Amino acid sequence: MPSRTRTEGQPQPAREYPRAPFGVEVRFYEWDKAHVARGHEIGGGGLFLETTAPIPEGTRLTLRVTLPAGAAFTVLGEVVRTVRGGPMRKPGLGVRFLDLAARDRDAILDYVARHSVRAA
């Protein structure tokens, strides 16, 4: 599996979907091991979870996500980035959705459209 690690100063690839802040608790499962993390941001392609759980890139997770408007869904995801954290950033996991249903993606995109932070 190719590494997603990038060197300092290297530009990040453009995202397929916009993202918005997402401070909601998310339950996720690594095989039979349950975890709870706080969402940081979400988009139609995935989310970032604030957690210190040491889960390696490439790991598949089952996530249970509930949007603030009440829509809830279960989705398979893959860890594509791990962040150790430090003085300027929170530790966590970047997770790409693998089998998100169209109606659930639409609900996320609606949430993002209403909550995204626009540049001035």
Tokens encoding 120: 């001035």
Specify the pLDDT at position 14: 63
Predicted confidence (pLDDT) per residue in 26-76, tens digit: 999 998 899 999 999 999 999 999 999 989 999 999 999 999 988 899 999
Residue 5 has pLDDT above 80, yes or no: no
Q: Taking the model in full, what pTM does it have? A: 0.83
Closest CA to 61 of 99, 113, 4: 99
Q: What is the mean pLDDT of residues 5-14?
A: 49
* Cα separation, 106 vs 4, whole angstroms: 27
Specify the pLDDT at position 73: 96
**CATH of range 19-115; options 1.10.3720.10, 3.40.50.1220, 2.40.10.220, 2.40.160.10:** 2.40.10.220
Domain boundaries, the chain: 19-115
Q: Across-strand partners of 30? A: 33
